[in-house]
């Protein structure tokens, strides 16, 4: 065996000049490979703890934090929650969640426009995952970038409020394609708006025929029971596996 | 904006492979970016100078191959080029279009020295 390169030839010349001349090497690696590896590690950790994990995504101001506040307040007596809050700056959302008594950790991404699997992996270290049923990850308000980053969640939940316009699913198809559930929020405002609910749902199904849709208002409480049922079903399924 | 973190991944992956080959520098990086990948090639080029500074990849040429969107309808069995991401077949209007290509974001090869 050649001791220089380990090949089967007994002896052959290694020309180091040649070795270091410009040459091409094949890579074939996905740009998200590292994030996907870390997301898979998160997912395995969450599965071992029988934890149901949701990644809440939306544009800023759709009501993610308000939905969480109401959900935690209504369900915390029967489900143990933990919340990761992602924002570019401030602890405002974490303070709102903390007021419900649920464990919360704020992640400030600074210049970053999304949470990634690495941030989430470290973000959950503070929580007692074994004693938690549901981890809610509230992503940075942004309908573009968070679509591409798997965090290890069971489902992405896209929140769209009726003040935003019904064609958002067509304008930001990656996000609505990546989501398994769409919550249409603020439906108590429908009488005052020209928002076409049926059209919005049709647009969402154009980019994702399998998407589940729940209409609700975390202000009036309408539709919240349906969302809670969906959540409870997810928790039950996790416990059975 | 997420092009900044993706471009950092490009530089990290390229350096990892180049170091394995004991390269002294990276001359070029060939990328495949799909029309539906959510990545703007110009933003990657813009971020690359910052991310590659003082590394093996500094000064490397970026060859970005843009991959057009392509779909196949499961109802009418036609292949169609797509300008935007949708499940609606532009030919028969069935909600049955499968995306064949366009979501790529990959490093294909490196030229090293």
Residue B40 with chain A: CB contacts under 8 Å: none
Per the CB < 8 A criterion, the answer to whether A23 and B112 are in contact is yes
Binning pLDDT at 50, 70 and 90, where does residue B47 land? Answer: very high
Q: Judge whether B110 is closer than 8 Å to chain A, CB to CB.
A: yes
Of A23, A111, A147, the CB nearest to B38: A147
* A–B CB contacts, 8 A cutoff, strictly below: 97
A49-240 under CATH 3.40.50.300, yes or no: yes
Q: Judge whether B56 is closer than 8 Å to chain A, CB to CB.
A: no
A206·B86 Cβ contact <8 A: yes
Domain boundaries, chain A: 49-240
Residue B1 neighbours by CB distance under 10 Å: 14
Rounded to the nearest angstrom, the minimum Cα separation between A173 and chain B is 6
Distance set, CA A227 to CA A161, A169, A197, B25 (Å): 15, 20, 18, 54
Search chain A and give the residue with CA nearest B44.
A31
Rounded to the nearest angstrom, the minimum Cα separation between B96 and chain A is 9
Q: Judge whether A22 is closer than 8 Å to chain B, CB to CB.
A: yes
Distance set, CA B77 to CA A177, B68, B86 (Å): 22, 19, 16
Q: What per-residue confidence (pLDDT) applies to A21? A: 81
If one compares B87 and B63, the residue with the highest pLDDT of the two is B63
Q: What per-residue confidence (pLDDT) applies to B94? A: 87
Residue B17 with chain A: CB contacts under 8 Å: 25, 27, 29
B38·A111 Cβ contact <8 A: no
Q: Judge whether A7 is closer than 8 Å to chain B, CB to CB.
A: no
Tokens 């949470």 sit on residue: A115
Residue A177 with chain B: CB contacts under 8 Å: 85
Rounded to the nearest angstrom, the minimum Cα separation between B18 and chain A is 8
Q: What per-residue confidence (pLDDT) applies to B88? A: 85
Q: What per-residue confidence (pLDDT) applies to A10? A: 54
Q: Judge whether A21 is closer than 8 Å to chain B, CB to CB.
A: yes
Q: What per-residue confidence (pLDDT) applies to A12? A: 52
| Average pLDDT of adjacent 10-residue blocks, chain A of 241 residues | 52 52 93 92 97 97 97 98 94 95 93 90 95 97 91 98 95 94 98 97 93 98 98 94 75
B85·A174 Cβ contact <8 A: yes
Interface ipTM above 0.90: no
Of A24, A33, A112, the CB nearest to B110: A24
Per the CB < 8 A criterion, the answer to whether B84 and B69 are in contact is yes
Euclidean distance between CA atoms A152 and A36, whole angstroms: 8
- What does the DSSP assignment read for chain A? --TTT--S-S-----HHHHTS-EEEEEEEETTHHHHHHHHHHHHHHHHTT-EEEEEEESTTSSHHHHHHHHHHHHTTTS-EEEEEEESS-SHHHHHHHTTT--EEEEE-TT-SS--HHHHHHHGGGS-GGG-SEEEEE--S-SSGGGG---S-SEEEEEEETTS-TTHHHHSHHHHHH-SEEEEE-GGGGGGS---HHHHHHHHHHH-TT-EEEE--TTT-TTHHHHHHHHHHHHHHHHH-
Rounded to the nearest angstrom, the minimum Cα separation between A7 and chain B is 16
Q: Judge whether B64 is closer than 8 Å to chain A, CB to CB.
A: no
**How does pLDDT run across B12-24, given as a tens digit for each residue?**
999 999 999 999 9
The domains located in chain B, with CATH, are: 3-68+101-112 (3.30.2320.50)
């Amino acid at each position: 065996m050649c001791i220089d390169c380990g090949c089967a030839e007994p002896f052959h010349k290694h020309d180091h000049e040649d070795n270091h001349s410009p040459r091409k090497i094949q890579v074939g690696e996905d740009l998200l490979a590292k994030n996907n590896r870390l997301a898979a590690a998160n997912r395995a950790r969450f599965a071992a703890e029988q934890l149901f994990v949701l990644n809440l995504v939306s544009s800023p101001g759709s009501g993610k934090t308000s939905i969480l506040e109401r959900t935690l307040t209504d369900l915390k007596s029967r489900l143990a929650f933990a919340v990761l809050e992602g924002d570019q700056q401030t602890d405002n959302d974490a303070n709102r969640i903390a007021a419900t008594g649920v464990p919360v950790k704020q992640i400030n991404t600074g210049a970053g426009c999304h949470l990634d699997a690495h941030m989430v992996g470290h973000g959950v270290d503070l929580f007692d995952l074994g004693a938690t049923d549901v981890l809610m990850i509230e992503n940075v308000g942004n309908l573009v970038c968070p679509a591409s980053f798997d965090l290890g969640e069971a489902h992405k939940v896209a929140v769209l409020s009726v003040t935003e316009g019904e064609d958002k699913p067509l304008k930001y198809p990656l996000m609505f394609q990546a989501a398994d559930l769409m919550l249409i929020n603020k439906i108590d405002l429908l009488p005052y708006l020209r928002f076409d609910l049926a059209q919005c749902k049709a647009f969402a199904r154009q980019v994702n025929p399998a998407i589940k849709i729940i209409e609700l208002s975390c202000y009036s409480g309408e539709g919240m029971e349906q969302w809670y049922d969906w959540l409870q079903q997810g928790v039950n399924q996790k416990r059975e596996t | 904006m997420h092009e900044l973190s993706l471009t950092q991944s490009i530089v990290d992956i390229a350096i990892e492979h180049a170091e394995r080959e004991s390269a002294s520098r990276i001359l070029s990086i060939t990328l495949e970016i799909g029309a539906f990948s959510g990545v703007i090639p110009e933003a990657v080029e813009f971020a690359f100078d910052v991310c590659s500074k003082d590394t093996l990849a500094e000064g490397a040429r970026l060859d970005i191959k843009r991959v057009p969107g392509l779909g196949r309808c499961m109802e009418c069995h036609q292949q169609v080029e797509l300008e935007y991401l949708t499940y609606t077949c532009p030919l028969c209007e069935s909600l049955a279009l499968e995306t064949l290509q366009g979501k790529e974001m990959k490093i294909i090869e490196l030229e090293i020295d």
